Amino acid sequence: MGDYIAIATTDELSPSQMKRVLIKGKRLLLCNSAGTFYCVDEMCSHEDYSLYLGCIKDGKIKCSLHGSYFDLITGKPTCEPADAAIHTYPLKIEAGQIWIKPEAV
Ligand code: FES
């Protein structure tokens, strides 16, 4: 798989579940939203708070501290108080394995 790193198997996460992943010292979240996988920053852009403590709903992840939702495709907040996007990272899925390119992190 060349320069990709395997971070999970597709059967590891049920819908609405998340997994914390550490890549190059950066904390990322792998999210399963209704069977589609996304990878985003673990930390909220509003304050230094883990989105892992929130929940996934309708293609978005909710920060449980102040209630902002972030679109899992774009990383953009869909409601206040957060006004900055979180980063999103491209994934590759092959043969039941989820891969991420470390250069993208
Ligand atoms: S810390 Fe996430 S919305 Fe405030």
CATH of the domain at 39: 2.102.10.10
Arithmetic mean of pLDDT over the chain: 95
DSSP state of 100: E
Average pLDDT over residues 74-94: 97
Residue 27 is predicted with a pLDDT of 96
Q: Is 45's C-beta closer than 6 angstroms to any atom of ligand 1?
A: no
For residue 29, pLDDT beyond 90: yes
3-state SS of the chain: helix, strand, coil percent to 5? 5, 45, 50
Token pair 């102040």 is found at 66
For residue 89, what are the domain limits?
5-104
Residue ID of nearest Cα to ligand 1 atom 1: 47
- Counting from 1 in the atom list of ligand 1, the atom nearest the Cα of 44 is 2
**How much is the pTM?**
0.94
How many domains does the structure of the chain reveal?
A: 1
- Counting from 1 in the atom list of ligand 1, the atom nearest the Cα of 48 is 1
Could you report the per-residue pLDDT of 36-58, keeping only the tens digit for each? 999 999 999 999 999 999 999 99
CA of 82 to the centre of ligand 1 (A): 6
